[in-house]
Structure 1
Amino acid sequence: MSKDFYTQFILPYAGIIIKICRAYTDTEEDFQDYYQEVCLQIWNSRKNFQEKSKWSTWVYRISLNVCMSLLRKRKKKQVYSSDHIEVQNIPDAENSFQDESLQLLYRAIRQLSELDRAIILLYLEEKSYKEIAEIIGTTPNNIGVRITRIKKQIKKILDGKIY
């Protein structure tokens, strides 16, 4: 991966990638692995970008797909390996593991289903229902209903009613 590509096409969207990777990982080490894999997949799939959507939508889709795929593999306890790529200067990644209230929110989000995690992350990024629907592959009405249910579920988790 060239430094220019990383600087121009990944670094401006690092916040998106960090939030998604953070929601699917429990440790700094896993986070680093997921972040690197997302960057690698963005690099590998750059030629498939057809400009039918925004680049940020493409980054969301790849980030979500990679994280959900890695999570499934991890759950199956399969060994996952990839070529090591050097990714430097991940903005605010360390701070996201130190903020206690943020940790509680991510812990609650990690208890959601894979799809619900993706939806709430996009919602927290202030994406419109239409944008979320486009990224997820459903209708805006379905997204609205799901977000209402997800909010209630997160509230129950944070209030200690679900473990």
Structure 2
Amino acid sequence: MALESYTFGPYKKDSREVFYSTNLSYALVNLHPIVPGHVLIIPRREVKRFADLTVDETSDLWITAQKIGIRLESYHKATSLTFGIQDGPQAGQTVPHVHIHIFPRKDDALDEKEKKLKKKLDLEKERKDRSLEEMTREAEEYRKLFL
């Protein structure tokens, strides 16, 4: 993979964190994953709100999310997927750049566990940053799904 420049809002992202890209979107492993396989799909153009995407960007973003979701669901032996967008700061968007979260889901027990954790912890404070090496290894595994 050629070294490319990726930005996510105000952040420069290392190309080793990216495991899939198109002309309009790219897929990135998450710095703070909530579940295994939690990734982000991001338009290349920095756009703060979903309504500001072009038709082509919107289409490419969702087609990319669909393609990534199918492969990650199989890879993680999940049975379902959650796709989510937090559109604006009051919706919980912490990076001012449109992005779709994908969460592979396995069973109801996981959802119950998450609900209990959310009651006990402030996840933004308790979740730890992963190292670039850890994210690089994960992205390398996911890249193999698209060869």
| TM-score interval (norm. to shorter) | under 0.3
The structure whose RCO (Cα within 8 Å, separation 6+) is larger is 2
Higher-Rg structure is 1
- Normalised by the size of structure 1, how large is the TM-score? 0.24
Q: 1 or 2, which has the higher strand percentage?
A: 2
